[in-house]
Amino acid sequence: MLSQKMENALNDQMNWEIYSAHIYLSMSSDFSRKGLPGIAQWMLAQYQEEMFHAMRFFNYINEAGGHAKLGVIDAPPYEWESPLKAFEVALEHEQGVTSRINALADLAMEERNHAVGIFLQWFISEQVEEEDTVGDIVGKLKMVGDGGGLFMLDRDLGTRVFTPPTTA
C-alpha cells in the first residue's frame, strides 16, 4: 500500500533512473566514436545497470498496488571533453542519486512505511558501491593522464559486463 505522495516519489525516482541510464548510454556513444572502446563498453554496462535499477522501481510500484508511470525523459548531454570529465560528471550524478534515495528513505520513515523502507535498503547499499566504483576510476584517470596509460585503463574498463544480481 502506497500513499499518493509515496507513489509519486517512487515514480519520480524510476524516471530518474531511466534518465541516468540515458546519460551513460550517451557517454558510451561519445567515447565509442572517440576511439575508447573500453570506456564505451563500461558506460554501456552502466546503462544496463541503471535500466535494471529503473525496473526494480517499476516492478515494486506495481506490486505495491501503485501505478508505475513513465514520464518525459530529458535529453542527456552528448559530449564530454575527456574521460576524466565524464567520470567526474558521473560521480557527481551518483552523489545526487544517493541524496535522492536518502530522501525517499526519509519519506518512508516519516510515513512509517516499513515495506518501502526495506525495498530501499538495497539501493542504499548499491549507492555506496556506485560512488566507490566511479570514484576509483576518477582517481585512476587522474593518475594516468592522457598518455599510454589511458589506453591500458581503457582496455581494463572494457572487461566490464553487467550481470543482474541473482538475489534481485
Q: Which of 7, 30, 50, 88 binds ligand FEO (CB under 6 A)?
A: 50
Residue 143: name the closest of 134, 158, 133, 153 by CA.
Answer: 153
Give the three cell numbers for residue 60. Answer: 515494486
In whole angstroms, the minimum distance from the beta carbon of 96 to ligand FEO comes to 9
Separation CA 134–CA 59 (nearest Å): 27
Residues 52-91, mask of contacts with ligand FEO (x by CB under 6 A): -x--------------------------------------
What stretch of H or E contains 41?
A: helix 37-63
Q: Between residues 46 and 150, which has the closer beta carbon with respect to ligand FEO?
A: 46
130 touches ligand FEO (CB under 6 A): yes
Residues with Cβ within 8 Å of 57's Cβ and at least 6 positions away in sequence, in order, are: 10, 11, 13, 14, 17, 68
In whole angstroms, the minimum distance from the beta carbon of 141 to ligand FEO comes to 18
* Residues 85-104, interacting with ligand FEO (CB under 6 A): 94, 97
Q: Are 38 and 156 spatial neighbours (Cβ–Cβ below 8 Å)?
A: yes
141 touches ligand FEO (CB under 6 A): no
Give the three cell numbers for residue 102. Answer: 536518502
Residue numbers of the site for ligand FEO (CB under 6 A)?
Answer: 17, 20, 50, 53, 94, 97, 130
